[in-house]
C-alpha cells in the first residue's frame, strides 16, 4: 500500500519533471531561439546543408566527369571553363570536390556516431555501475587520451591496414574516450538527483533507469559533442590522408586531394588550396554551429 503510494508520487514527480522540461523549452523552441540570437550558427547550419546537398547530388551537379582524364587541359587554373581549375590529370576539380565531399563528410559523421555511441555507453556504464567497472573503463580512457590522436590513428591504421572501412573504424576508436569521460561525469551527478534516487528506492530496474532517466538527460550534451566532434574527425581524416595513410585512390577525399596536389604546389597551388579551403569552411561551420548549440542546450559544457 505504502509502496504503491510512493510509486504514484514518484511517477507524478517524474511526469512533472519531464513535462516541465517540455513546457519550459522544447527542442524546436530552443532551435528557434538559437536562430534568432545566433545568426552565425544559422548561417553555419545553412553552409553545412549546402555541403550535404552537394555530396548527395554530386552526379547531377558535376559539370564534368570526376574520373575522366583530359591530358590537353592539365593543371589549368580556375576560370571560365573549369570553375576551380583542373588537376594533374586534367580532371575538373569542382567535380572531384563534389565527389570527394561524399567521403569527407561521411568520414566526419559515421565514425563520430560510432564513437559517440561507444563513448556514451561506456560512460553511462562506468558512472552508473561504479566500482571496478568504472575504474577499468576510465583507465582505458586515460590510456586512449594519453596517446596523441594523430599517432593513435596512425598506429590503428597500421594495424587494420588501408581501406575506407578501416579509416572509419580508426576514427571511431580514436574519439570515444573523451565522450566517455563527459558522459560519466554527467551520469554521476544525475545518479545523485532526487528522481533517480526515488526510482531506485521503489525498485525500478537499472537498465530502465539508464534508458528512461539518464540517457534522455545526457542527450543535449551528446548533441553538442556530436557537432563538435564531427569537424575533429574531418580534420583527423584529412591529416591521415594528407600523409598518405588514410583514404587511398581510387577513393577520393579532400585530404587525399591536398596530398596529391602538394607535388604541384608551386605551379598549380589551387590543387591543394581548394580542398584545404573546403575543409576549413566545413570545420568552421561545424564549430560555429556547435558553439551555438552549446550556448542554448548545455551552457555548463563550456568549461570542459
Residues engaged in binding other proteins (CB under 8 A): 139-140, 142-143, 146-148, 150-151, 154-159, 161, 231, 235, 238-239, 242-245, 255, 258, 262, 265-266, 269, 272-273, 276-277, 279-280, 283-284, 287
**At closest approach, how far in Å is the CB of 283 from other proteins?**
4
Contacts of 50 (CB under 8 A, 6+ apart): none
What would the grid cell of residue 131 be? Answer: 566500482
Nearest alpha-carbon partner for 256 in 264, 266, 265, 245: 245
CA atoms of 200 and 188, how far apart (whole Å):
14
Least distance from C-beta 249 to other proteins, angstroms? 16
CB of 23 to other proteins, least distance (A): 25
- The residue among 26 and 302 lying less far from other proteins, judged by its C-beta, is 302
Q: Whole-angstrom Cα distance, residue 84 to residue 70?
A: 15
Nearest in space to 119 (alpha carbons), one of 55, 172, 48, 197: 172
Rounded least distance, CB 181 to other proteins, Å: 14
User: Whose Cβ is closer to other proteins: residue 141's or residue 190's?
Assistant: 141
User: Min. distance of Cβ 220 from other proteins in angstroms?
Assistant: 22
- Please report how close the Cβ of residue 158 comes to other proteins at its closest, in angstroms: 5
Distance separating alpha carbons of residues 65 and 54, to the nearest angstrom: 15
Q: Which is nearer to other proteins, 48 or 218 (CB)?
A: 48
Number of residues that this document lists for the chain: 304
Q: Closer CB to other proteins, residue 106 or residue 160?
A: 160
Minimum distance of other proteins from residue 187's CB (angstroms)? 22
- Backbone region of residue 72 per phi and psi (left: phi > 0; alpha: psi in -120 to 50; beta: other values): alpha
- Please state, in angstroms and rounded to a whole number, the distance separating the CA atoms of residues 97 and 85: 11
Q: Quick one: 14 or 88, whose CB is closer to other proteins?
A: 88
Nearer to other proteins, 60 or 146 (CB): 146
For 146-281, strand residue ranges (E) read: none
Nearer to other proteins among residue 30 and residue 277 (C-beta): 277
- DSSP label at 192? T
Question: Which DSSP helix (H) or strand (E) runs through 12?
Answer: helix 2-24
| DSSP assignment string, 225-257 | HHHHHHHHHHHHHHHHHHTTSSS-TTS--HHHH
Amino acid at each position: 500500500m505504502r509502496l504503491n503510494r510512493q510509486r504514484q508520487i514518484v511517477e507524478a514527480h517524474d511526469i512533472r519533471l519531464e513535462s516541465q522540461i517540455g513546457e519550459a523549452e522544447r527542442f524546436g523552441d530552443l532551435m528557434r531561439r538559437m536562430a534568432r540570437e545566433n545568426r552565425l550558427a544559422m548561417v553555419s547550419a545553412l553552409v553545412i546543408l549546402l555541403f550535404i546537398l552537394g555530396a548527395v547530388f554530386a552526379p547531377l551537379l558535376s559539370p564534368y566527369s570526376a574520373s575522366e582524364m583530359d591530358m590537353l587541359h592539365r593543371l589549368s587554373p580556375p576560370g571560365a571553363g573549369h570553375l576551380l581549375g583542373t588537376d594533374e590529370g586534367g580532371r575538373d576539380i569542382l567535380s572531384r570536390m563534389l565527389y570527394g565531399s561524399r567521403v569527407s563528410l561521411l568520414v566526419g559523421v559515421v565514425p563520430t556516431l560510432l564513437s559517440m555511441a561507444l563513448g556514451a555507453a561506456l560512460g553511462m556504464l562506468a558512472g552508473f555501475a561504479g566500482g571496478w567497472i568504472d575504474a577499468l573503463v576510465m583507465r582505458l580512457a586515460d590510456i586512449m587520451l594519453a596517446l596523441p590522436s594523430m599517432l593513435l590513428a596512425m598506429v590503428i591504421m597500421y594495424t587494420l591496414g588501408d581501406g575506407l572501412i578501416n579509416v572509419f573504424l580508426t576514427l571511431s576508436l580514436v574519439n570515444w574516450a573523451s565522450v566517455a569521460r563527459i558522459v560519466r561525469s554527467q551520469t554521476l551527478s544525475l545518479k545523485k538527483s532526487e528522481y533517480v534516487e526515488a526510482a531506485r528506492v521503489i525498485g525500478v530496474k537499472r537498465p530502465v533507469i539508464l534508458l528512461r532517466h539518464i540517457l534522455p538527460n545526457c542527450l543535449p550534451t551528446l548533441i553538442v559533442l556530436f557537432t563538435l566532434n564531427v569537424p575533429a574527425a574531418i580534420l583527423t581524416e584529412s591529416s591521415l590522408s594528407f600523409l598518405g595513410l588514410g583514404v587511398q585512390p581510387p577513393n577520393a577525399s579532400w585530404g587525399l586531394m591536398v596530398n596529391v596536389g602538394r607535388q604541384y604546389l608551386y605551379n598549380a597551388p589551387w590543387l591543394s588550396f581548394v580542398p584545404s579551403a573546403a575543409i576549413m569552411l566545413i570545420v568552421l561551420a561545424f564549430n560555429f554551429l556547435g558553439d551555438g548549440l552549446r550556448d542554448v542546450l548545455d551552457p555548463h559544457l563550456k568549461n570542459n
